[in-house]
Amino acid sequence: MPLVPIVTLPDEKILRQVSRPVASVDASVARLWDDMLETMYHAPGIGLAAIQIGVPLRLIVIDLAKDGEEKKPVFLANPEVIWASEAQNDYEEGCLSIPEFYEMVTRPADVKVRYQNRRGEPREIEASGLMATCLQHEIDHLNGVLFIDHISRLKRDRVLKKFQKAQKLGKL
């Protein structure tokens, strides 16, 4: 199973795309999920959206297992937030598409997400804590939204500029 390069800033042409739903969870989707999972584990990261490897489909993988714990990957197709709590939570977020940048983000503390699993069956998951944050972060990716869109404009513009400059200097 191949490791796939992760798309990073300043490549907003890819990262800002709105991904399209998968019509059916078939063998090609399973293969893509497996490539995403391997790429995510290698990075390492706790979640990955297909657009981060350049594929504009509404597919996510998440695995919150810590180093040395048994892996428990979750595969989600066409995920939708169907409920979000009023209560908010702050979490210091990072993103494999924005390497080495971390900032506090406020989001709903608890969410309910509807999706299709690896067999194409409809499922719902109610999540809190890091899982709730990660689900929202990944679903944002499917809509072309990055976590820096949830921080101040000053900080966002600063990080965008940094990546644009790094590319111009041949450092990306």
Member of 10, 54, 73, 94 binding ligand GNR (CB under 6 A): 94
CA 6/CA 160 separation, integer angstroms: 17
Is 138 a known active-site residue? yes
Using CB under 6 A as the binding rule, whether residue 15 contacts ligand GNR is answered as no
Q: How far apart are CA 11 and CA 13, in angstroms?
A: 5
The reply to whether 47 sits near ligand GNR by the rule CB under 6 A is yes
**Residues found near Ni ion in the complex (CB under 5 A):** 95
The enclosing H or E element of 92 equals: strand 88-95
CA torsion through residues 153, 155, 160, 161, sign: positive
Q: Which does 45 bind (CB under 5 to 8 A by kind): Ni ion, ligand GNR, none?
A: ligand GNR
Of the candidate spans 15-23, 27-35, 44-52, 111-119, the one that interacts with ligand GNR by CB under 6 A turns out to be 44-52
Least Å distance between CB 14 and Ni ion? 13
Which one, 95 or 111, has the nearer CB to Ni ion?
95
d(CA 129, CA 85): 12
Which residues of this chain interact with ligand GNR, rule CB under 6 A? 45-49, 52, 91, 93-97, 133-134, 137-138, 141
